[in-house]
Amino acid sequence: MAEKNFVDYVKIFCASGNGGAGSAHLRREKYIPKGGPDGGDGGRGGHVIIKGNAQMWTLLHLRFQKHIKAGHGGPGGKQCSTGANGKDEIIEVPLGTVVRDAETNDFLFEITKDGESRILVEGGRGGLGNVHFKSATNQTPRYAQPGEPGTEGWKTLELKVLADVGLVGFPSAGKSTLLSVVSAAKPKIAEYHFTTLVPNLGIVSCRGQQSFIMADIPGIIEGAHQGKGLGLRFLRHIERNSMLLFMVPADSKGHLKEYLVLLDELKKYNPELLDKDRFLVISKSDMLDEELMGEISKELKGIPHIFISSVTGQNIVQLKDLVWEILNKT
């Protein structure tokens, strides 16, 4: 997916429809000059509805559609006929979309299932016709209720990528290269920081017919939880991953320190992220010999880890088996 086509945050103005007015009609026919009230109810105003679509991966379609307005309800008619309901406006979004109130930033709901529908802005109710106000003391009411006005306001939609495995690491840790090797994804790869600016997804085939989805999350840096290096935008996508693969390159000056910094950034952003299954991957290990691997293992002090090389294929199959085992543990 081209970077310019990946949009994970939009702010939209939503307005539901007004309810239709009730009718104050009085029945008048040739042989029934005083037939009494027969005004029908007004139709409800249209809702603005959010609906999940598993075939969508971005909020790009909403970037230039800032104002969304539903239709107004129709007025009631004679013979107790109810007015037409206003046309609903349905906004389709990718799975993992979080909806918030733009003014208060309050969480409203999250769409996680294909076809799941939630009313974002509810339409106004239709007014009651005069037939509802008939009584023994008022047999010909000449009034009816007006429809309720619709509601409106600014909402924000945030997309959190849904994946089984999220790759977490500093820029140039080898995340994109690993994804390109284990899946058919073709992320942009280059030897400079922040080559990846949007998440990339790939389906990783394991033994037999087994597979899982891996997400290449853009690199984070120290201070990301405070927004440095677009950190808040990148960290948001980690929340929807089942497990996390931390990646530290073999040529790092401090493997344990780098791993702990990554953990600390996740903890400061959202402590619940540390409850996820995680595993440490030492990438670019083709530049290491057995002695250096042993020294790095001692430095990591028992932290579960594996040495891999996306270039030579070292331990790639073992890594996929390990991830599958963690994802499917009892």
Same domain, residue pair 247 and 311? yes
Same domain, residue pair 136 and 13? yes
Same domain, residue pair 30 and 155? yes
Same domain, residue pair 85 and 213? no
Number of domains in the chain: 2
Tell me what pLDDT residue 183 has.
Answer: 81
Same domain, residue pair 72 and 192? no
Same domain, residue pair 50 and 170? no
Q: Give start and end residues of each alpha helix (H) in 113-254.
A: 175-182, 231-235
Same domain, residue pair 24 and 127? yes
Q: What domain range is 105 assigned to?
A: 1-159
Same domain, residue pair 111 and 183? no
- Cα–Cα distance, 52 to 49 (Å, whole number): 10
Tell me what pLDDT residue 226 has.
Answer: 45
- pTM equals 0.67
Between strands 97-101 and 67-69, the pairing is unpaired
Tens place of pLDDT for every residue, the chain, 330 residues?
Answer: 444 455 778 999 999 999 999 999 998 887 777 788 999 999 999 999 999 998 887 888 888 888 999 999 999 999 999 999 999 999 999 888 999 999 998 999 999 899 999 999 999 999 999 999 999 889 889 999 999 999 999 999 988 776 788 888 888 788 888 888 888 656 444 453 444 456 677 788 887 677 888 888 776 655 444 444 444 456 767 777 888 999 898 988 889 988 998 888 888 888 888 888 999 999 999 988 989 999 999 988 889 999 999 889 899 999 999 999 888 874
Query: What single-letter DSSP state applies at residue 4?
Result: G
Q: What CATH number did the domain enclosing 267 receive?
A: 3.40.50.300
- Cα–Cα distance, 11 to 15 (Å, whole number): 13
Same domain, residue pair 288 and 167? yes
Last residue of one domain, picked from the residues 159, 186, 210 = 159
Q: How many CA atoms, within 13 angstroms, populate the side-chain half-sphere of residue 50?
A: 26
Last residue of one domain, picked from the residues 103, 133, 159 = 159
Residue closest to 238 by CA, chosen among 210, 219, 259, 211? 219
Last residue of one domain, picked from the residues 105, 136, 159 = 159
Same domain, residue pair 72 and 169? no
Tell me what pLDDT residue 164 has.
Answer: 85
Tell me what pLDDT residue 208 has.
Answer: 67
Tell me what pLDDT residue 150 has.
Answer: 95
Same domain, residue pair 87 and 173? no
